[in-house]
Amino acid sequence: MLIAGSLASASAFAVDYLTAEQARKLLFPAAAQWQERAVTLGAEQLQAVARSAGVPARSAAWTVTHARDEAGKYLGSVVVDQVVGKFELITYAVGVNAAGAITGIEILSYRESHGSEIRLPAWRRQFAGKSLAQPIRVGEDIAVISGATLSCNHVTDGVRRIVAVLSVLREGGQLAAS
């Protein structure tokens, strides 16, 4: 009986803020066309992601949604991912433009009892314009929010991983720009 009560209270904090489609539109407002592709990283690509991101790729399979303007020009890609905050999953989306720079991040769902401040625009704006040329690390170029330390760290690691995945795919010709 106590276990059921504990599970119910943990899920009471879950909040869905955006759908993946809404996040895509926020990350690429000029996009008129969307193309979702499932991609699979090979062993060498997984190692390249780990080297450049400093965290494991975690999965070989990724779903990447390409944004295109009305003329069909490739604007960039969006990846939706999940990381564990302290105990629960945080679902977020990352937009990366054709040059490999982050257009932004959006928090889709937050399930923890504390730390939802990572949804604040000021914290999320820190990622905009960054690429693998910057550290994208809490304490270096991304500030930590008191009370949301684990969420800040884990989302930042996840964003860095996605930027690295997209970079490896771009280098391998798997992010078709045409």
Question: How does pLDDT run across 137-171, given as a tens digit for each residue?
Answer: 999 999 999 988 999 999 999 999 999 999 999 99
In this structure, is residue 54 part of a structural domain?
yes
In this structure, is residue 6 part of a structural domain?
no
In this structure, is residue 131 part of a structural domain?
yes
Q: Which among 112, 105, 106, 113 is positioned nearest to 89, based on CA atoms?
A: 112
Taking a C-beta distance cutoff of 8 angstroms, is the pair 162, 172 a contact? no
CA-to-CA distance for 170 and 177, rounded, in angstroms?
Answer: 9
Q: Which two tokens stand for residue 1?
A: 């009986």
In this structure, is residue 90 part of a structural domain?
yes
In this structure, is residue 141 part of a structural domain?
yes
User: How large a percentage of the chain has pLDDT more than 90?
Assistant: 76
Domain extent, residue 160, equals 14-171
In this structure, is residue 2 part of a structural domain?
no
Please give the backbone phi and psi of residue 96, each rounded to the nearest 5 degrees, phi first: -130, 125
How many helical (H) and strand (E) elements, i.e. helices and strands, does the chain have? 5, 6
In this structure, is residue 176 part of a structural domain?
no
Taking a C-beta distance cutoff of 8 angstroms, is the pair 83, 148 a contact? no
Highest mean pLDDT among 56-60, 65-69, 149-153: 65-69
CA-to-CA distance for 100 and 21, rounded, in angstroms?
Answer: 21
Residue 7, pLDDT score: 44
Residue 47, pLDDT score: 96
Number of domain units in the chain: 1
**Mean pLDDT, residues 90-107:** 97
**Three-state DSSP state, 158:** helix
Percent of residues in the chain assigned helix, strand, coil, to nearest 5: 35, 30, 40
